[in-house]
A and B are shown apart, each in its own frame.
Chain A
Amino acid sequence: MPATTLQGLAPSRAIARPDIPHAVRGRFRRLKTALTVVLLGLYFLTPWLRWERGPGLPGQAVLFDLPGRRLMVFGLEFWPQDLPIAAGMMVFGAMALFFATTLAGRVWCGFACPQTVWSDLFFAVDRLIVRLVGKGAAERRLRTVAWLLIALATGIGFTAYFIDAPTLPGRLLAGQAPATAYATVLVLTGTTWLLAAYARERVCLHMCPWPRFQAALLDRQSLVVTYQHGRGEPRGRRRTPLRPDLAGQGFGEPQPTGPAPAAPRLMGLVAEAVAFSAPEPFPSLRGDCIDCTRCVTVCPTGVDIRRGLQMGCIGCGLCIDACNEVMVKLDRPEGLIRFDVESAPLRPLLAPPRVDWLRPKALAFGLAALLALGFSGYGMATLPPVSAHAEPQRNPPFVQLSDGSVRNDYALRLAHRRAGLAEVALRVEGLEGAQLRLGTQEGAPAPVLRIAIGPDRSLDERLLVQLPRADVPSGRHDIAIVLTDPDSGAELARLPSYFWGPER
């Protein structure tokens, strides 16, 4: 690997990776545990939240109602035609991800990605089982059982987003759930087992496309997990004496002390490369790294961060915790491995990272994320309560009636999502003397129709608009079919259409 040759950091010995990464304590571990608990909790508990919507409507707070072609999220109801809102949320997600990556590397991968969260859960379970029963056949069987149970819970938890959650387990057990529910449980159990329990870090290393293009998002000011090469090298056993520049009082001072260039462009890169490739100046001394390999054995993807930022690093910070534990025991300052910017070698060793947070790239991604969020938020705030269409029936374009009046027919389709709306009022604007009637309705036509909407909140009717002979226009005449809420009088929808009369 060219980077390794350049940095002169080929491992001094082969590092045996444990099949389960070692446990570690520390700041990032606590953060990761807290996030894992919160995210898994959100995933498993969300379907069980209730939200009363009224009779005939599902009482589940978050429900992907596929047969009803709607998505219920608390007080909001989304229809397929609201897809731009979902697209906006996806753009927001992507831009927020780019924003976070530009500022702080792969924090998403390390802390919030489902693959990481579930892998972390499986690692924890594996470590617990090994601690309880030790290694061996019993441990392997127990692990398999635990994996399958978690995977099954994940599968059922996922399915609960689509079917009424409280009754789902019972229906699944009784064999009364729809076949698609069983298929979903099976597929999600399978993928969870395959990806999170079995493949784990291999997904991050070989399957996920994200590491491949993160390099395009990171820049020299991105905060990433960094091994402080200048402080750690040459690594060596505890007994080897420490480099005097590290042991002495003026800690870190003899390092290149020139003011760090504000923007280390080409010359900065060259200086860094020379510093890395120069022969080690203290052959019989060591830096702060005692080559204990804790940073490798705790890494969920098994990378050696001391070889520099690499594709396998998911930025979870567990190696930082591991190294800090060791540094504390050695009575050395923490932060040999830390979140830092890549231009670190050009500063005194223990100086805190200087990050330029207001970078154009980060600002652009942040702005794009805000725009997308604003777009979706506006869409959610202004969801039309009614979806209605009135399609003129053009065959025949008009119907001549016995008394000389002329009728136009419209296919009227209506669906609504406003709580408590049981009736709509229908009238025609732009047509003097129009009389309305539904195809299924008995009795005389009226200028304003009141239509009762059933519990399924939809209508599919033939609307007949009739005009006395004296008022009939010649040819096409533009009208609007207006739907209002009869209680409040608020306009629900205005459907531009036309009325056709015999041409004179």
Chain B
Amino acid sequence: MAAPERDSLTGYHTTGHEWDGIKELNTPIPHWWVTVFLGSCLVAVLYMWLYPSFATTTGIFKGRLGWTSHGQLAEEMVQARAAQAGWRSLLTDTPLEQVEANADLRRFAIAGGRAAFNENCAPCHGVGAGGQIGQFPALVDDDWLWGGSLADIRQTVRYGIRSGHDETRQSLMPAFGEMLSAGEIDSIAAYVLTLSDPSAAASRARLPGAELYAANCAACHGAAGEGSRDMGAPRLNDAIWLYGGTRDAIRHQIANPRMGVMPAFAGKLDDDTIRMLALYVHSLGGGER
């Protein structure tokens, strides 16, 4: 092949193509561009060799580095746990009642408790711990079936209520529908409703339900309806009714009582998490000293 022709005006080589006397200049891609392009190709090949990159007939090519996103997640979780280790061990070593004295530790515990709560407790008690009337008790109010101190809450979370765990909180309300007549149950319901009304204090003793209440209910719920936390017997003289505060709902509860079940979290959650949960629930506004 002859030496390529050089354009006299620009000094560039021509491609040898000519149309009606017009010649095309040969302006090749700059070297640096070609170098960068080839370098990029090389990087791509290297990347494919190092990382999982393509499917094979039996699965995937795993790459020289053996990297997986699951592995990366596990590694990051380990790192996150390591970063928390100092606070966690401090939490383990601090008695539950003294955590609040350390503002930073308290913040750590409550943040962890909130996360654990949303994962484990919110399905029943609600994200805001407001509970649900007729189903699950609210945890933000000042009424507690089994006690609202840090230790009480911790024990409830750990062993549950009627959970089948050996240490579970356990109690049973008999179904009075088989023992009392419908009229008797109705008069007890009428009496129970007056317990939370201070203006009826004098007149309620004359109600027909008063005697029946004393005979059947006062043993657990107390003579004045003050409840008993040892047995998880709810207060009847307050404004909070888990299964409804109408006469109808109370009658139904006496005849065919519903009793909630809460699973034990011991074994499912570690002890630190349970302590965090207790601190978090305690901080929601109803915690007792």
Interface residues of A (CB under 8 A from B): 393-396, 399-404, 407, 409, 439-440, 442, 462, 464, 469
Contact = CB atoms under 8 A, between A and B. Distances in A.
Contact of A399 (B100, B141, B196, B289): B141
A442 B289 contact: yes
Given A396-B128, A401-B239, A403-B238, 17 more contacts: A393-B128, A395-B130, A396-B126, A399-B130, A399-B140, A399-B141, A400-B138, A400-B240, A402-B235, A402-B239, A404-B238, A407-B285, A439-B285, A440-B283, A462-B283, A462-B285, A469-B239
Contact of B141 (A402, A440, A462): A402
A409 B240 CA distance: 18
B230 interface: no
Main SS class of interface, B:
loop
B186 interface: no
A401 B130 CA distance: 12
B100 A440 contact: yes
B128 A395 contact: yes
Central interface residue in A395, A399, A439, A464, by most chain B CB within 10 Å: A399
A440 B106 CA distance: 10
Interface in B82-129: 100, 126-128
8 contacts: A396-B126, A396-B140, A400-B239, A402-B142, A402-B239, A403-B239, A409-B285, A462-B285
Contacts of B238: 402-404
B72 to A, nearest CB: 23
Central interface residue in B127, B283, B285, by most chain A CB within 10 Å: B285
Nearest to B122: A395
B141 A400 contact: yes
Interface residues of B, number: 21
A401 B239 CA distance: 7
Contacts of B130: 395-396, 399
A439 B140 CA distance: 11
B128 A394 contact: yes
A402 B127 CA distance: 22
Interface string B222-236: 000000000000010
A243 to B, nearest CB: 42
B140 A409 contact: yes
A484 to B, nearest CB: 24
Contacts of A402: 141-143, 235, 238-240
Contacts of A393: 128
A403 B284 CA distance: 18
Interface in B234-256: 235, 238-240
A41 B131 CA distance: 65
B200 to A, nearest CB: 14
A453 to B, nearest CB: 13
A194 B286 CA distance: 63
Nearest to B126: A395
Contacts of A407: 140-141, 285
Contacts of A396: 126, 128, 130-131, 138, 140
B196 to A, nearest CB: 8
Nearest to B283: A439
A442 B101 CA distance: 13
Central interface residue in B100, B126, B130, by most chain A CB within 10 Å: B130
Nearest to B245: A400
A293 to B, nearest CB: 31
Contacts of B126: 395-396
B109 to A, nearest CB: 13
Contacts of A469: 239
Nearest to A393: B128
Nearest to A454: B103
Given A403-B239, A404-B239, A464 B128 contact: no
A440 B285 CA distance: 8
Nearest to A395: B128
Contacts of A442: 289
A391 to B, nearest CB: 12
A464 B283 CA distance: 11
B127 A395 contact: yes
Contacts of B142: 401-402
A403 B141 CA distance: 11
A401 B141 contact: yes
Contacts of A464: 285
A393 B285 CA distance: 12
A399 B285 contact: yes
B240 A401 contact: yes
A393 B142 CA distance: 17
Contacts of B143: 401-402
A400 to B, nearest CB: 6
A469 B127 CA distance: 26
Contacts of A409: 140, 285
Interface string B184-200: 00000000000010000
Central interface residue in A394, A402, A440, A462, by most chain B CB within 10 Å: A402
B137 to A, nearest CB: 11
A315 B140 CA distance: 71
A399 B238 CA distance: 14
Central interface residue in A394, A401, A407, A462, by most chain B CB within 10 Å: A401
A412 B234 CA distance: 33
A474 to B, nearest CB: 16
A220 to B, nearest CB: 39
A396 B131 CA distance: 8
A471 B42 CA distance: 77
Contacts of B239: 400-404, 469
A399 B138 contact: yes
Contacts of B235: 402
A291 B238 CA distance: 105
B149 to A, nearest CB: 13
Nearest to A442: B289
Contacts of A399: 130, 138, 140-141, 285-286
A396 B141 CA distance: 10
B242 to A, nearest CB: 11
A441 B142 CA distance: 15
Interface string B128-160: 101100000010111100000000000000000
Which 5 A-B pairs have CB atoms at the shortest separation, nearest pair first? A396-B130, A395-B128, A402-B238, A404-B239, A402-B143
A404 B197 CA distance: 10
A489 B99 CA distance: 35
Contacts of A394: 128
A454 B127 CA distance: 30
A399 B142 CA distance: 9
Interface in B264-289: 283-286, 289
